[in-house]
Amino acid sequence: MLSSGSDTTTNKPSKRKLENGEDSATNIYKELEEPLSIPEKPAVIEERDGIIEMRVITNNGTMDNLLLLTSLKNCIRTQLPNMPAEYITRLVYDNKHQSMAIVKEKKRVVGGITFRLFPENNLAEIVFCVVNSDEQAKGYGSHMMNHLKDHLKDNENVKYLMTYADNHAMGFFKKNGFTTEITLERRLWVGFIKDYDEATIMQCKMIPKVKYTRLQEILARQKRAIQIKLAERLKQSTKYPGLQLFHKNGVKHVDPMTIQGIKESGWDPEMEARAHGNKKTNRSIMASITAELKKHAKSWPFRIPVNGDEVPDYYKIIKAPMDLMTIESKVENNCYKTLDDYIQDVRLIFNNCRIYNAEGTIYVKCANGLEKYFNERLKFYDNANNNGIKRVKYS
């Protein structure tokens, strides 16, 4: 778990004398206290110099806030031209919503995040997240998100952030700690946050001890601590005798954790599984893609099995029927041994549709559109987790 550089801990490392006479714990703490050289992003520098300020604004009826909300509304409309203007206006001015805004010159908003709180669920929904295009190279987006996280966890007791992101926004949210693997109980978010077609639900679970506006410093200190510890262990490497077990009684297998030095090295079987894309990782990818397909606007013909009473000849023509509900059940019951097996079933849906329906029908158009989206999602997860689906063919 991450912790700030100023946090103290009672679990101090065991003391061992080094060549200079100092014990290892003292040596590590001394090196950790040395100044860090961390390059600062322009957003951090500008906030420190008073060029920008971060403000939480609501429609409380004051002229100052109304002017800032109007500036934010215009910023959102410029950056999201395909979003209906009336919809943007309604949410920005709605007193159930709040906004974290980047303000320049006391009155001009150059970026903002509009959000809604669900305090009883420890949840906040991000509705809009924008930065003026001419300001995006300064790190405003991530800096604003870090401020929002600190504000929500420190002042509103929020533990989870959720949002729907389109393909263009997913990269930004992933860089800022969001994931498509939803761990928050469905009852706490389904029916609360707004559902958007052709967008993917994403979640960020915040860590209470982390000061997100100091995240770069925290990570740098952790990295330094690990490097110091590794260097120290290299100096004190231990040689162990070879194994003699295989020369006795025909032994062919041995538990790696019983071999001297393995446990001390910090290795465990889970590390090996993660390195090779284990079944749990693959299963989560399948579950995420299936959920995304079901939410897609063109998936409506494929969400449940075809009703044989309504389409009497369907099962005479289609000998291997498949649908998203069946796939979801197979994923939940761990029926797919590989991702290739899963992908074959998904493609079966599209192939069956094109066999039964004539070219140009609404059903074939839906199949083609959903298959294109499916290929995009495969490429996305391939980039995010090469170990998991490195060998997947997209078409």
Catalytic residue among 46, 125, 135, 292, which? 125
Q: Which two tokens stand for residue 27?
A: 């040596």
For strands 52-57 and 97-104, give the pairing: antiparallel
Count Cβ neighbours within 10 Å for each residue of 93-116 and write b for 16 or more, e otherwise.
eeeebbbbbbbbeeebbbbbbbbb
Q: Which two tokens stand for residue 351?
A: 């192939």
How many whole angstroms separate alpha carbon 289 and alpha carbon 299? 12
CB neighbours (10 Å) of residue 320? 8
Q: What is the DSSP string of 152-182?
A: HHHHS---EEEEEE-HHHHHHHHHTT-BSS-
- Residue for token pair 């063919």: 393
Q: Which two tokens stand for residue 133?
A: 């295009």
Residue 194: name the closest of 102, 265, 90, 269 by CA.
90
User: Which value, to the nearest 10 degrees, does the dihedral of the CA atoms of residues 140, 142, 143, 146 take?
Assistant: 150
Q: Is 125 a catalytic residue?
A: yes
Task: Give me Rg for the CA atoms of the chain.
Answer: 27
Q: Within 13 Å, how many C-alpha atoms sit on residue 298's CB side?
A: 18
Distances (CA, A) of 316 to 1, 37, 128, 308, 345: 57, 70, 49, 10, 19
Helical ranges in the chain per DSSP H: 24-32, 42-48, 63-79, 85-93, 140-155, 167-175, 215-235, 269-275, 279-295, 314-317, 324-332, 339-356, 362-384, 386-389
Cα–chain-centroid distance for residue 231? 32
Q: Which two tokens stand for residue 79?
A: 């950056």
Cα–chain-centroid distance for residue 187? 20
Q: Report, as residue numbers or ranges, the catalytic residues.
A: 125
